[in-house]
Structure 1
Amino acid sequence: MTSKLSAVLPDLSPWRSSRDFRLLWAQGLITYFGSFMALVALPLQIKELTGSPLAVGAMGAVELVPLVIFGLYGGALADAVDRGRVILLTEAGLGLLAVVLLVNAMLPEPMLWPLYVVAAGVAALAGLQRPALDSLLARIVPHDQLAAAAALNALRWQIGAIAGPAVAGLVVAYAGNAPAYATTVICFIASVLMCLRLSPAPPAENADKPSLRGIAEGARYAWSRPVLLGTYAVDLAAMFFAFPNTIFPFLADELDADWSLGLMYAAGSVGSVLVSLTSGWVSRVRRHGLLVVCGAAGWGLAIAAAGWLSDVWLVLVCLGLAGAGDMLSGLGRSTIWNQTVPDELRGRLAGIEVLSYSVGPQLGQVRAGAMAGWTGTRPAFWTGGLACVVSVGLLATALPKLLTYDAQTDEDARRRRAAHTAAAGGPGTADTAPGEPGPAVARTAPDVPPGA
């Protein structure tokens, strides 16, 4: 019985092997809880001030440009400076923006324009931070534990995504927006204190200063790898067509279930956390590209079903199934990325990854808000879900290497595994192909950083 449970339950090896992983996991849990409190309060406050689904969806348009610019620059920055310092400073900046939301909410008549300014600022800081966070994982966790680390990180995100919206829905409903924003501020203060304890994560010895040339080099690498290109394209399409979160307040109104708003935001994470809690099998998966495609298609189908159904509990079940599909796709994307990208390009590729998994939802908000204003809330759900399924199928057909990706036979995965083994002082350098970073570079990214 014990062996059967261990094959299903999450693999805790990254927790045991890396102090910095434990710190980042706990810090991220606190940040996610506070961020999701604001995630519910902010669009609801815009709805209260304007009553317009288009005004709520416009958040995505406001966030798009800073996310693109700072996401790409953040990728180059993560390859050129201490990644831990980037995480610390951007976390502090996000905390200050939460203070702005709190002060505005406490005014006798809260203003609309600061909400959009803060949304743009959050997008810019998230664009700077996320490449540093993503590119740090492969440095602090052994290569053979990357899939387990991805599952544990997803579990962390889901706990915050369930607790944050669920609590925020109640807090906003019974106490107003200000207490939700105050909780966000407190969470960021705690997060900054934990970031101060991270070990240094200096750049590679041959790192260049952030530049357009360096960004272009990362883009050329991504474009030359059909598997990576496929992960970006599938996620971008899925989020653009089937990310209706900003119109949840209007769906709750149509279903005559205002009480369900927090649950709608949390339902997807409930489905995701069920996958994470039974993710022991992920470490044995080799066809991660298949996970990406099937998970994204499942997400689209579930979102379409949520638009067809009129019973609020069935809608919540569909949103939970959508979250499970997104979780499967995310595990596949994260594992492929960490298994194949060289360390000296990891930050820039993470910047491109930011665009794929963040720009999609921002554009999806605009699409959902505009579609809801034009055809109604329910059609905005089901048309987007069906478009997601069709687009994912077309992309899988156009990029067959994504479906056939195998962690044991893929050349990039073998080279990266050999470089990791060489850095650890073990056998495996014979598999390092010409052009792959050798041990001198790989040693700048040990499996466990000093002090771990």
Structure 2
Amino acid sequence: MPAPDEPTEPHRPEQPTAPVAADPPTRRLARLRGVLADTRPLATPAYRRLWLAGVVTIIGAQLSVVAVPTQIYQLTGSSAWVGLTGLFGLVPLVVFGLWGGAIADVVDRRTLLLITGSGIAASSLLLWVTSATGVGGVWLILVLFAAQSGLLAVNQPTRNAVIPRLLPADQLPAANALNMTVAQIGAIAGPLLAGVLIPVIGLPMLYLLDAIALLATLWATWRLPAVPPEPVPAGAAKRRAGLREITDGFRYAAAYPVLLVSFLIDIVAMAFGMPRIVFPEMSQTVFGDPPGGGPALGLLFAAIPIGMVLAGLFSGWLQRVHRQGVAVTVAICVWGVAIALFGLTSSLWLAVVFLAVGGAADLVSSVYRSSMLQTVATDEMRGRMQGVFIVVVAGGPRVADMWHGPAAAVAGPGPAVVAGGVAVVVLALLVVRRYPVFWSYRGPTA
């Protein structure tokens, strides 16, 4: 307080402060859109129809994914017979994934999608008839499953090669994020729905529902414009889809380091880091499930897809990242670290969190790698590059299955998983250091 003999400052009433302007609703909405998935590709009618149809079709396809091994186990009572689905599924996937990509580069892709989509639906109908009547037994089911896998191996690279013809290049990351989000939602919802439906309508009906769901994609494909291959330059040889063209695809990938590393780094991530084969053992020995499986097993299998779905729903920021090579490298390293931490923990909830973080990182990596492929590869090579992509994506986890099992038997599942996660980080960094052009790669801007 001032001394009594000092003049005091006359009192001045407080001036009202200017009210802080409220954040306009449009600004809040813009911020929210910047966080959530970028939906601009859905403004293109052809892509929107394909995407909406995929929501239905993917869930239907997951019904058959559950039905085939379940039916084979019911018929044989043997997990060894169920394991044959891996062989009958992988071989057609590799052969027709590579060949189908070459075919997609020389024919109208819309026509090829209609043919293969109809074949997939027909195989599901035949599986329904076989399952409902009991005709043919387990071998016929495996043959039909192999045929369906081969058709899918042609259909998927063709579908992915169509998207760059429907959308501008700067929207491809958003479109890939939307596609992968739907795929992972189907990976979660389909098996859960199958588990609910089998006691109610019976296992054979799952195949019929899958065939009916495929009608949505056939309708969306029918509405597409023609997607013929680009004209052959004057004097160039006529395009074919033989062994030479498949080999040309591998040479093409090797000639472009960005494409080569996008394949190599995914092989590293999946072949060393995918720990799914040890989930049954860890659910019992580490997380306390009863013999035969329980809640922990379901949570472990669902955790990676859940992480991918959450990352997809909040993927709006992906569109603003142009250093895509850096983004892929960081995402792969996050995947490896998350897997290693999963192998170290004995807490189920921490395990789920680590796997979900890994799943989110995997989605980021997948989005940018798909966009690189669709942008860097020329239209005449996109089908073959997509075929290689499908083989890499499907083959990597199967390689991981082959070594994780024996390693877990020798050292325990936890140490095997940790070793795989550490190997992912080390090898990914070595690959990128060997090809620094990948680290420098920038995606297209609007």
TM range (shorter): 0.7 to 0.9
| Equivalent in the alignment of 2:368 | 332
Distance 1:293 1:165, change over 3 A: farther
Distance 1:25 1:263, change over 3 A: farther
2:354 to 315, 318, 328: 318
Distance 1:250 1:225, change over 3 A: same
1:75 to 98, 101, 106: 101
* TM-score, L = length of structure 1: 0.79
| Equivalent in the alignment of 1:433 | none
**Cα drift, residue 276 of structure 1:** 1.6
Which range is displaced more, 383-392 or 355-364?
383-392
1:138-161 deviation digits (Å, cap 9, x = unpaired): 100012222222222222223222
Asked whether 1:233 is paired with 2:259, we answer no
1:22-69 deviation digits (Å, cap 9, x = unpaired): 1111122222112223334444555664554x6655543433332222
Question: How many Å separate the matches in 2 of 1:251 and 1:168?
Answer: 25
| Equivalent in the alignment of 1:243 | 274
Q: Secondary structure at the match of 1:356?
A: helix
| Equivalent in the alignment of 1:390 | 426
Amino acid at match of 1:158: Q
| Equivalent in the alignment of 2:149 | 123
Asked whether 1:22 is paired with 2:58, we answer no
Distance 1:290 1:166, change over 3 A: farther
| Equivalent in the alignment of 1:363 | 399
Q: CA RMSD in A?
A: 3.1
Amino acid at match of 1:216: T
Distance 1:88 1:369, change over 3 A: farther
Question: How many Å separate the matches in 1 of 2:281 and 2:196?
Answer: 17
Question: How many Å separate the matches in 2 of 1:373 and 1:55?
Answer: 22
Q: Secondary structure at the match of 1:80?
A: coil
Which range is displaced more, 336-345 or 98-107?
98-107
1:215 to 224, 238, 246: 246
1:12 to 25, 30, 39: 39
Contact 1:60 1:365 in 2 (8 A): no
Name structure 2 gaps, 5 residues minimum.
1-27, 233-237
Name structure 1 gaps, 5 residues minimum.
409-416, 422-452
**Cα drift, residue 367 of structure 1:** 4.1
1:389-424 deviation digits (Å, cap 9, x = unpaired): 33323322322222221236xxxxxxxx8xxx9xxx
| Equivalent in the alignment of 1:200 | 226
Aligned-residue sequence identity (percent) comes to: 36
| Equivalent in the alignment of 2:438 | 402
Amino acid at match of 2:31: K
Distance 1:131 1:109, change over 3 A: closer
Contact 1:293 1:403 in 2 (8 A): yes
Contact 2:50 2:217 in 1 (8 A): no
| Equivalent in the alignment of 1:150 | 176
| Equivalent in the alignment of 1:442 | none
Contact 2:180 2:312 in 1 (8 A): yes
Question: How many Å separate the matches in 2 of 1:47 and 1:380?
Answer: 29
Distance 1:286 1:60, change over 3 A: same
Amino acid at match of 1:15: L
Distance 1:102 1:374, change over 3 A: farther
1:412-439 deviation digits (Å, cap 9, x = unpaired): xxxxx8xxx9xxxxxxxxxxxxxxxxxx
Question: How many Å separate the matches in 2 of 1:376 and 1:100?
Answer: 43
Asked whether 1:98 is paired with 2:134, we answer no
